[in-house]
Structure 1
Amino acid sequence: MKLAKWAVWFPMLPGLLGYGLFFLFPVILVFSEALSAPLETFNRMISDSYLLSSIGGSLVLAGSASLMSLLVALFIAYFLSQTSPRMRQWLSIAIALPLVFSGLIVAYGFILTFGRAGFVTQLLGQIGIPEGQFGNVIFTPVGLAMVYCYYLIPRAVFILLPVILNFDWQQMKVSESFGANRWQSYRYVFLPQLYPAMITSLCVMVSVALGAYGTALALSGTQLNILPLAIYSKISDGGTDFPVVGMLSLLLVGLCVLFTLLADKLKQRLEDM
């Protein structure tokens, strides 16, 4: 009987070993660096105005990109819900393609398309739009937010779509039969049932955008003041303050976990209403 119980764990050993070696062990090392002298490390971190502004910059960038992505994803998910199952399947495959590529490939693709010598930039230059001004946008926070939207929108679409597909559209007709116009039906009948999925998708996107690193590094190097790039700058170019790097990493992980817990809390509250 004991052998049977242990035999259940044998197939899981490779996964558990990989999880411990490549996730738990690095996290423990980061924790040990950050908490070796927590008060001194925290004081050094908050005394650096660059690091403090990077936290705010990350939150603003992640929040704005996520809000834009959510707005676009709402229209895409609604459109997909109105198409035939076969068409929806093919369009879903196309929408999911951005999730296949790494952040570096996405960044280089946007540079080749919208950069200073990009294909679209050169075409716009033919009609009088200054290539230098338009080509520089992709390397600014606005351009980075656009690139983030490229792979945030599919995540939101696939969270919203099942809810919209399962929505009973007869409720809209019932509300209109009681005198509500089309906008009021969407506002008071459709959207309240979509709020939990909207909150979930928004928090998931903020968590993903907060930790995005490769895309920002490829587009701007360390010129943009956001938290992942601040961590990178602290461990590159001869940086040796590993306790502060560990504290910043814990802060980044804590923010992502906070938004995940917030999504669950708000979702439960909205579903109980």
Structure 2
Amino acid sequence: MKFEQWRTLISIAPGLLGYILFFCFPVAFVFSEALVAPLETFNRMISDSYLIGSIQGSLILALTSSITSLLVALCIARFLSQCKPLTRQWLSVGIALPLVFSGLIVAYGFILTFGRAGFVTQLLGYAGIPEASFGTLIFTPFGLAIAYCYYLIPRAVFILLPVMLNFNWQQMKVSESLGASKWQSYRYIFLPQLYPAMITSVCVMISVALGAYGTALALSGTQLNILPLTLYSKISDGGTDFPVVGMLSILLVTLCVAFTLLAEWFRHKYQFGIKPS
């Protein structure tokens, strides 16, 4: 081998070793547990109504929070596209801040703000809203969906914004001058050009929400029936049916990878970037 090839191999060796030890080996071990008797394990999984409910709960939660985040992100991206470049840059930094924090920090922040003794809860208590009812809202599936939106919205904004920046807004004015209403201009001109980015953002957000773990664990413990928490409870509560746990893990990985690949397919087909320039 040439010197350049040896240097390249040495430079990537630590990262490759870490990837093999901390990703490939654990995944192979989990998969091997599930695939010893795959049909029997799969039958045990689908015959358990609690496990089926956790899969459905994860999909409903991911889809609901993703669509809600998309609607909010559309408004934010539309506003940013009309801002001056310097203003847009500073606002983008602020919007990206939620992506810096881990899920546990996000959950604790929501508890301190909207929990039973949270700042907003106490303010609303002075206004006559019962603290006991509002303070428990953040620990419900609705509250968890809102917490997910906190770090899903920035992802959607940074997918939608490049498309809006490259959109020729003169098309809207021309269509309105020809007799189209504002709604018709948005429906027939603006939205068709934005659909690929919207679908991509939803796929990315669903993939993130399906695998989110820290936020859900901090807010609801294992009381909420969603797939990541079910996997945690199956392992931490002295569970012994590791093949079923492995099968659930395969299902979760498959769903996340499928939505990620779908997002990448849309992005490459319609040639738009994930981050604003």
**What's the TM-score, normalizing by structure 1?**
0.95
Alignment of 1:170-189 (within 5 A): 170-189=170-189
Structure 1 stretch 78-87 or stretch 255-264: which is displaced more? 255-264
Q: Deviations over 1:90-129 (max 9, x none)?
A: 1111111111111001101101110111111111011110
Q: Distance in 1 between matches of 2:21 and 2:208?
A: 23
1:21 aligns with 2:21: yes
Aligned-partner residue type, residue 26 of structure 1: P
Q: Are the equivalent residues in 2 in contact too, given 1:73–1:153 (CA < 8 A)? A: yes
Aligned-partner residue type, residue 250 of structure 1: I
1:82 aligns with 2:82: yes
Post-superposition offset of 1:269: 7.0
Post-superposition offset of 1:3: 4.0
Equivalent residue number for residue 257 of structure 2: 257
**What's the TM-score, normalizing by structure 2?**
0.94
Equivalent residue number for residue 224 of structure 2: 224
Q: Deviations over 1:3-44 (max 9, x none)?
A: 433433221112211111111111111111111111221121
Equivalent residue number for residue 110 of structure 1: 110
Equivalent residue number for residue 248 of structure 1: 248
Q: Deviations over 1:117-161 (max 9, x none)?
A: 111111101111010010111000000000000000000001111
Q: Distance in 2 between matches of 1:115 and 1:67?
A: 25
Please, what is the CA RMSD of the aligned residues? 1.5
Equivalent residue number for residue 36 of structure 1: 36
1:66 aligns with 2:56: no
Equivalent residue number for residue 97 of structure 2: 97
Q: Distance in 2 between matches of 1:9 and 1:138?
A: 49
Post-superposition offset of 1:85: 0.9
Equivalent residue number for residue 212 of structure 2: 212
Post-superposition offset of 1:267: 5.6
Number of matched pairs? 271
Equivalent residue number for residue 190 of structure 1: 190
Give the direction of change, closer, same or farther, for the CA distance of 1:167–1:109 in structure 2 (3 Å limit).
same
Classify the secondary structure of the residue corresponding to 1:175.
helix
Equivalent residue number for residue 136 of structure 1: 136
Post-superposition offset of 1:264: 4.1
Equivalent residue number for residue 53 of structure 2: 53
Aligned-partner residue type, residue 162 of structure 2: P
Q: Distance in 2 between matches of 1:2 and 1:86?
A: 48
Post-superposition offset of 1:257: 1.4
Q: Distance in 2 between matches of 1:26 and 1:179?
A: 61
Gaps of 5+ in 1: none
Q: Are the equivalent residues in 2 in contact too, given 1:195–1:270 (CA < 8 A)? A: no
Classify the secondary structure of the residue corresponding to 2:135.
helix
Equivalent residue number for residue 156 of structure 1: 156
Post-superposition offset of 1:268: 6.6
Q: Are the equivalent residues in 2 in contact too, given 1:110–1:147 (CA < 8 A)? A: yes
Q: Are the equivalent residues in 2 in contact too, given 1:116–1:136 (CA < 8 A)? A: yes
